[in-house]
Amino acid sequence: MYTSQPPTSSIRRSPAISATGETTINVPGKNRVWVHGFRPNLRSQTRRVRGSTIRAVVSKEESKSSTVTVEDTTAIDGVGGMMDLKATITIKKQMKEKVIEKIEDQWESFVIGIGRGVLIQLISEEIDPVTKSGKYAESSPRGWLPSASSHPHVLEFTSNIVVPVNFGRPGAVLVTNLLRREFYLVDIVIHGVNQDPVIFPAKTWIHSQQSNPDSRIIFKNQAYLPSQTPPGLKDLRREDLRSIRGNGKGERKPHDRIYDYATYNDLGRPDKSPDLARPVLGVPETPYPRRCRTGRPPTKSDPNSESRIEKPHPVYVPRDETFEEIKQNTFSAGRLKALLHNLLPSIAAKLSDTDISFECFSEIDKLYNDGVFLKEAEHNQFLVNFTNQVMNVGKRFLKYDTPAIMRRDRFAWLRDDEFARQTLAGVNPVNIELLKEFPILSKLDASTYGPVESALTKEVIAEELHGMSVEEAFREKRLFIIDYHDMLLPFIEKMNELPGRKAYASRTILFYNRANVLRPIAIELSLPPTPSSSSSSNKRLFRPGHDATAHWLWNLAKAHVCSNDAGIHQLVNHWLRTHACMEPYIIATHRQLSSMHPVFKLLHPHMRYTLEINALARQSLINGGGIIEACFSPGKFAMEVSSAAYKSSWRFDLEALPADLIRRGMAVEDPTTPHGVKLVIEDYPYASDGLLIWSAIKELVESIVYHYYPGSDSITSDVELQTWWSEIINMGHHDKRNEPWWPKLDTKESLIGVLTTIIWIASGQHAAINFGQYPFGGYVPNRPTLMRKLIPEEGPEYDHFLMNPQFTFLSSLPTQLQATKVMAVQDTLSTHSPDEEYLGQVHHLSNHWLHDGEVWGFFERFGAKMEEIEGIINSRNKDVRLKNRNGAGIPPYELLLPTSGPGVTGRGVPNSVSI
């Protein structure tokens, strides 16, 4: 079977790990020469060779030693024609084991002790002249005896393998698990071949033979292009890839390692309620990237929809894509926190028969200072008793950490300059664009959505430029826009029919004045036209006010813009552009690139945990009735909004950071600059820090590509690489397969661009728009995820607004239940796991690249570059000239600082989309 490189272990290993000591060989009879050829059918081969097994015996006395004797093949040339190799096998145990698992461990120790637990077969890089396949030798290790290890959950044991001196260099190991349950194989190291150990990095779950009789293939840590594959490994390389693709049939089982594609047809629950039915995403009407296929049966009421698995049952992902134990514990703790923040307020809301609004700003502050209190009313005494017993916290519970946005300045969110600053240095800094011309026009059908001209005319803008002409502002590139009009207006009518939802489609104009301060100067909020409305009555204009009424109306308008921004950020920039679009790259990489391929090895750290976190999101975040629908403006139409954005605006070639900045007019091409582009606003923290990371990634990718590919011909002739890219386009992004903008993979430059873009999306791009969710969104007035009221115009509501504008503002925000629910989820999504692997950390790559000193040097330079970038960013955050990251009450911009500790830190760039 194909050896997928699984999530990297948290264990830091030296290249040559210690073994349990010298081993004695018990050879049955005279069976001394037993080198066989490899047959592609792995099942029959395992049965055929079992009769000629060389068994290794490990005694307790021998296990005390922690050193390895490395034997040189030259020392035994001509002495019997045989050489003795030593295999050191390292496995990792669960940190928390149940009683029954401990009993099973004892049984497994006995089984392995008699040589019936694990079978390993060593495959040579050389061809057997008889079978025309790789030579192989076999051994069954005895004993499950832990050696001296600094890691309490790591076990090492050894086995001896006797091979002829002409066996050749080992290239692969076949591992058969004869036990009743799986185990986690860290690696296998073969000693005795010349002076250097041969490392087989595994970091994979080895399934039981009872689940699947096929052996697992583990290749050594040498990278080979397909044309460079040693003759003895060619069959294995093909078999490996074939087995991991599956046949597209049947329901996947937990032990499977099958990577295949499916549409997003599992978000709804039509069998439970027609209101929970959701359209399939990934069809012409609603295009979308593909997800990992699970193969569950269809629902009864809709044959096109796949039945769901609800918590706590897991959704299938290939076995090596699941969370490791540390990550699982961290995520479970986050889910428990979310449960306590969501379930208990839900009970409180049910018992009080209402969904309560915040009545004053001090009630929001209590979430951080005091926590949530339950009143001593008879109807919710049950809840008070429950929390007293379960949580042992008395009446006070559910306390939140103070978000970074209000830690330094409680009132920063009210200021226009802070509203604008967050478009450049907040959690969603990727929607601001240069305003390039007037009039501002919609691309929507005028007969359905009204006049295409915006109410934000040249004359309106001229009044807000404080003496500068519009022509000057255009010439100096000082006018910017955040335009959600066309993306949201087709959904507004349906959204506003949902209970507790009222939204507009917004446009916001910002002005970058000569003091280098960005400020919003005009907002347009639009509703779809109605038969009775005039051509312009569906568009409302708001500008900064100089009186109390205008000031409050302006703040309500900004809140509606923030609500639009929060929805587009979550559904498009975060979920679609990083999570969903990464999934096809990961599936194709496993299906089409051998684990020996240098591009697989390069991309592997950037695929960790993504399929698992995406599966969990389909289960409880983006599903029908899930957190996103409950807490964000689009409600049940959320994923349709995401699909519409994919259809209208997603392009792979514009996902590269420089290309995206140029497309938005935030940068211009400039070959004289270090990054090839010059920013229109130099104090643009996301872009300026992001370009540092982008350039470092590109430099690493260039080094790898130039090292393995001498010319363009070697790229076009790389069958695995070309099939990989074709599959990403034609299967992973099937609905976009005919677009002309897909890069052609025919030069080193195009390959460098593709790989740099994928790594950037998985690392820097995701970090910049994910780990600030709680620091910026944890304070509801700063970033409401939905609004519940339109801005009052006339009549009793307007009169009430004049009497109590604070009440109107707060009652328009999410309810206490909605706010605390989304805060808990944002807190979980902003949390780094203790086993996080950050960009530039190379220790976990040692076994994969150690064979090639030059490549290892590339990664060491990349790590040093990340340290240098961290220093540059820290210096920028202290520069008083950079007003978007320094000043009174201004938090530093740290979202692209490469490293972080665990928890909600607002910094750190992991290798992969891991949360």
Active site residues: 574, 579, 766, 770, 915
C-beta separation of 141 from 159 below 8 A: yes
User: What is the rounded distance in angstroms from the CA atom of residue 158 to the CA atom of residue 136?
Assistant: 18
C-beta separation of 732 from 289 below 8 A: yes
Question: Burial, 310: exposed, middle or buried (Cβ in 10 Å; 0-12, 13-18, 19+)?
Answer: exposed
User: What is the rounded distance in angstroms from the CA atom of residue 132 to the CA atom of residue 130?
Assistant: 6
From residue 701, give the alpha-carbon distance in Å to each of 194, 225, 749, 761: 32, 16, 10, 14
CA-based torsion, 655, 660, 662, 667: positive or negative: negative
- DSSP tag of 856: H
C-beta separation of 526 from 504 below 8 A: yes
Token reading at 282: 């990934």
Beta partners for 904?
831
C-beta separation of 820 from 345 below 8 A: yes
Token reading at 380: 């919710």
Beta partners for 201?
187
State the SS3 of 718-729: CHHHHHHHHHHH
User: What is the rounded distance in angstroms from the CA atom of residue 415 to the CA atom of residue 394?
Assistant: 38
Strand ordering across the sheet containing 433-434: 433-434, 479-483, 505-512, 518-526, 539-542
Strands (E), 34-182: 36-37, 54-57, 82-92, 118-127, 134-140, 154-164, 170-177
Q: Which residues of 885-903 are buried (b: 16+ CB within 10 A; e: fewer)?
A: bbeeebbbbbbbbbbbeee
User: What is the rounded distance in angstroms from the CA atom of residue 210 to the CA atom of residue 320?
Assistant: 18
- DSSP tag of 779: S
C-beta separation of 768 from 895 below 8 A: yes
User: What is the rounded distance in angstroms from the CA atom of residue 560 to the CA atom of residue 57?
Assistant: 72
From residue 714, give the alpha-carbon distance in Å to each of 225, 237, 434: 9, 19, 41
Using CA atoms in the order 560, 566, 568, 574, what is the torsion angle rounded to 10 degrees? 170
Beta partners for 426?
none
* Segment holding 615, helix H or strand E: helix 610-620
Determine if the peptide bond prior to 531 is cis (ω within 30°).
Answer: no
Beta partners for 194?
none
User: What is the rounded distance in angstroms from the CA atom of residue 263 to the CA atom of residue 286?
Assistant: 10
Q: How many residues does the chain have?
A: 915
Token reading at 874: 């820290």
C-beta separation of 40 from 48 below 8 A: no
User: What is the rounded distance in angstroms from the CA atom of residue 557 to the CA atom of residue 528?
Assistant: 17
Amino acid sitting at position 420: A
Distance of CA 851 to the CA centre of its chain: 29
What is the residue-wise DSSP string for 649-672?
A: H--GGG-SHHHHHHHTTSEEE-TT
* Nearest residue to 539 (alpha-carbon basis) of 504, 574, 496: 504
